[in-house]
Structure 1
Amino acid sequence: MANREQPSIPIQEEETLEKGIDAILEIPMFILAMVMLALFIIEITARLSPQSSRMLLLAQSVIWWIFVAEYLTRVFLAEDHLRYIKEHPADALFIFIPFLRVFRVLSVLRTVRLLQSVHPVTLLKTYVTTRKSLVQLGHILKKRSFAYVVASTLVITLIGSLIMYLLERNAGGTMIHSFGDAVWWSIGIVTTVGNELYPVTAEGRILSTIMMIYGMGIFGYVAATIASYFINIDNPAPTQKSSNITKKEYEDLYSRLNELLAEVKKPSGKQ
């Protein structure tokens, strides 16, 4: 008995379906990623009542299940499932966020001084959540590089604030006592303006240096983009309309020259 071939979706239809799903999910997934990031910051920085903590956990769980469904859908639609998983490790890791609390083996990493004030699971969740937010942001603004840079800078500023708060909150002589202080510090660093707040821990100073370098790079990019915008205003490119007028004038001149040549070549009436 002949084996029946399994029906398959044509590659072109598969790609069309994938693009259609991308177009539908881009903005909702970005909003959920930003909400997840906000909930994560609240979880770490705010003192919540037991009831508020349960509500926060419920909201995180609902968003997490939505991301699980989205991830599995993308894996299913991918032409090469294993390759998709390998090329999107942050998405795969994001799926396991709720289970990170049971990995107590990571406590061994607390021997590193950087991790004595921040639990490694917290650092891992910070990285994965940030990565997810930036990826979703990239999907939406992939053709608008300036908007992507500005929006991603806002995300990085918030994450830098969170990490600085975790590093400095229990340090002796610290000037950063709250998440709000950390945000104010981060804004001053990224905008290269500076402020009266500064870190006292070695780890905080390392982070401050990294954020400062990032801020200088972003400042240069934004300044160049704005300058380019005003240069284009002062020297606009020729429009299609002006090109057509120039061409018409050229044709009229050419026609007039032909007429003059014809007049010159006419034989004289005198013998």
Structure 2
Amino acid sequence: MENSISQGWRRYESKVYGALHIAILLLSVFLVATISVDTFRNLLFLNQGNYLTIQLWVCTLFMFDFLLELVLSPHKWRYLKTHFIFFLVSIPYLNIITYLHIDFSPQAAYFLRFIPLVRSGYALAIVVGWFTRNRASSLLVSYLTMLLATVYFSSLLFFVMEHDTNPLVAHYTDALWWAFMDVTTVGSNIYAVTATGKILSVVLAALGMMMFPIFTVYVTNLVQRNTQSKEGA
């Protein structure tokens, strides 16, 4: 009897976690869309009360998810140590600095908009795992998705930081081209002139050097398994 109750409770927990992770992922996509629109239209998002309200509610949900998983975790200290970063990125920093009237540069405030999106990476890995056949495929798809997301976010940051000072970055497409060429470690004719742009150049190149060998190894192993299965048949 107790065993059946325990199993039922675990299934209920799994459904709740699944719903929260999907909600987090959808809200993260919504935040990405708003950041992109504001960037392309050159809007001052700190003057938009609607955006700050939306981000506050999104961060509140992220915080609720963290606290719920902490309360339900059988090993709370271990969970706290391994997931504390999710608590930090769930804090609505923009709302806090706006409420306290703390002066930040527009570039720094723009960077703070991306912090809650770190939380979506964990939800993304879980949701992707539902649709892949094995752990290796799940990890590969998660890594590739997060790599593409990092490239896109880096292109947005690069455009905001560089387009006023770098004559080579006249349009967003220039920043997007730079990001894709940089992550492939091929390089492009566009180079960074700001400190942030230079840091992004190093980060993207490092990610590219780490990710593409993983993809190559995965494809090689996949081909070998298919060859062995055909020979065995």
Measured against the shorter chain, the TM-score band is 0.7 to 0.9
Deviates most, 95-104 or 225-234: 95-104
Q: Distance in 1 between matches of 2:100 and 2:9?
A: 38
Question: What pairs with 1:213-252 in structure 2 (closer than 5 Å)?
Answer: 213-236=206-229
C-alpha RMSD over aligned residues: 3.4
Preserved contact between residue 90 and residue 119 of structure 2 (Cα < 8 Å): no
Name the counterpart of 2:151. 157
Question: What pairs with 1:26-105 in structure 2 (closer than 5 Å)?
Answer: 26-48=21-43, 53=48, 56-57=51-52, 59-79=54-74, 84-97=79-92, 98-103=95-100
Residues 117 and 178 (structure 1), Cα distance of their counterparts in 2 relative to 1, 3 Å cut: farther
Question: What pairs with 1:120-139 in structure 2 (closer than 5 Å)?
Answer: 121-126=109-114, 128-139=115-126
Structure 2 gap ranges (5+): 130-134
What is the TM-score normalised by the length of structure 2?
0.73
Structure 1 gap ranges (5+): 1-9, 108-115, 243-271
Establish whether residue 141 from structure 1 lines up as the match of residue 95 from structure 2: no
Which residue among 170, 174, 177 is the counterpart of 1:177? 170
The CA deviation string for residues 145-193 of structure 1, in whole angstroms up to 9 with x for no partner, is 110111011111122112222321332x431234332222111111334
Q: Distance in 1 between matches of 2:42 and 2:106?
A: 18
The CA deviation string for residues 100-121 of structure 1, in whole angstroms up to 9 with x for no partner, is 43355575xxxxxxxx6722x4
Q: Distance in 1 between matches of 2:171 and 2:57?
A: 29
Preserved contact between residue 14 and residue 77 of structure 1 (Cα < 8 Å): no
TM-fit CA distance, 1:30: 1.6
Deviates most, 155-164 or 98-107: 98-107
TM-fit CA distance, 1:208: 0.8
Q: Distance in 1 between matches of 2:148 and 2:111?
A: 19
What is the TM-score normalised by the length of structure 1?
0.64
Q: Distance in 1 between matches of 2:30 and 2:90?
A: 16
Equivalent residue of 1:118, what SS?
helix
Q: Distance in 2 between matches of 1:180 and 1:55?
A: 28
Residues 130 and 221 (structure 1), Cα distance of their counterparts in 2 relative to 1, 3 Å cut: same
Deviates most, 79-88 or 36-45: 79-88
Preserved contact between residue 59 and residue 116 of structure 2 (Cα < 8 Å): no
Residues 35 and 11 (structure 1), Cα distance of their counterparts in 2 relative to 1, 3 Å cut: same
Larger Rg: 1
Equivalent residue of 1:88, what SS?
helix
Preserved contact between residue 33 and residue 136 of structure 1 (Cα < 8 Å): no
Residues 170 and 95 (structure 1), Cα distance of their counterparts in 2 relative to 1, 3 Å cut: same
Which residue among 176, 189, 195 is the counterpart of 1:196? 189
Q: Distance in 1 between matches of 2:210 and 2:82?
A: 28
Establish whether residue 205 from structure 1 lines up as the match of residue 198 from structure 2: yes
Equivalent residue of 1:204, what SS?
helix
Q: Distance in 2 between matches of 1:178 and 1:132?
A: 29
Q: Distance in 1 between matches of 2:65 and 2:192?
A: 40
Q: Share of identical aligned residues, percent?
A: 20
Residues 159 and 194 (structure 1), Cα distance of their counterparts in 2 relative to 1, 3 Å cut: same
Q: Distance in 2 between matches of 1:188 and 1:207?
A: 13
Structure 1 counterpart of 2:88, which letter? Answer: L
